[in-house]
Amino acid sequence: MTPSPLRTTLRQDTHDAHARVDALLGGGIADLETYQRYLGGMQRFLAACEDALLPAWPMAPLQALLADDMRALAVGPTPSLAAPLPATDEPSRLGVAYVVGGASVGARQLARQAEALGFGPGRAASFLHVFAQGSMWNGVLASLDAARLDPHQTDRCRAAAVATFATAEAAFGGLEELR
């Protein structure tokens, strides 16, 4: 399947930001501490993205699983980021969804890493497994394929994706205080 031109544009325009976020995750979930930090970062990230994704991609069910996993591992609530992501139109929401949905693809490897540490569905990794196995990414891909954006709308979609990666960077970058 050939990626849509919009998907290709988003991938190119967010490549460096994506690499910075991946570097913050430091190779994934190697131990309990890195898993706790991942959960805290995801809580901050999803909370900042939630309103921008509504109504097409509700995050509340995932956030409930995330909160349960955090409680199971004694991870307290993380401080909120300064401001949630604004997404005032469909192109902007699609840019946010591109990044959040893409995170679900990366969650597949993280779920395997968590499982190797003894965490799984019902064992403090329900969020990770549901997020990894969910259909959000396929929905985002379908939306990207169907999108007929003019140049201004494409710019708003790209700007939202870049801003969402910056939000992820902020969410995961401040996690040293969770140690």
Find the mean pLDDT for residues 43-71. 93
C-alpha–C-alpha distance, residues 11 and 111, integer Å: 23
Give the domain range for residue 144.
5-178
Q: What is the CATH number of the domain that holds 96?
A: 1.20.910.10
Question: What percent of the chain lies above the pLDDT cut of 90?
Answer: 79
Q: Is 79 left (phi over 0), alpha (psi -120 to 50) or beta?
A: beta
- Average pLDDT of the chain, as a whole number: 91
**What is the 3-state composition of the chain as percent helix, strand, coil, each rounded to the nearest 5?**
70, 0, 25
For residue 140, give both structure tokens: 């985002």
The amino acid at 173:
G
Residue 68 is predicted with a pLDDT of 96
pLDDT at residue 28 greater than cutoff 50: yes
Residue 174 is predicted with a pLDDT of 65
Find the mean pLDDT for residues 47-64. 91
pLDDT at residue 178 greater than cutoff 70: no
pTM confidence score:
0.93
176: confidence class by pLDDT, cuts 50, 70, 90: low
C-alpha–C-alpha distance, residues 13 and 4, integer Å: 14
The amino acid at 14:
T
Residue 77 is predicted with a pLDDT of 81
C-alpha–C-alpha distance, residues 91 and 78, integer Å: 29
pLDDT at residue 12 greater than cutoff 50: yes
The number of beta carbons lying within 10 Å of the beta carbon of residue 21 is 24
Question: What percent of the chain lies above the pLDDT cut of 70?
Answer: 96
pLDDT at residue 179 greater than cutoff 50: no
Find the mean pLDDT for residues 73-91. 83
DSSP state of 175: G
Question: Total structural domains in the chain?
Answer: 1
177: confidence class by pLDDT, cuts 50, 70, 90: very low
Measured in degrees and rounded to the nearest 5, phi and psi for residue 123 equal -130, 55
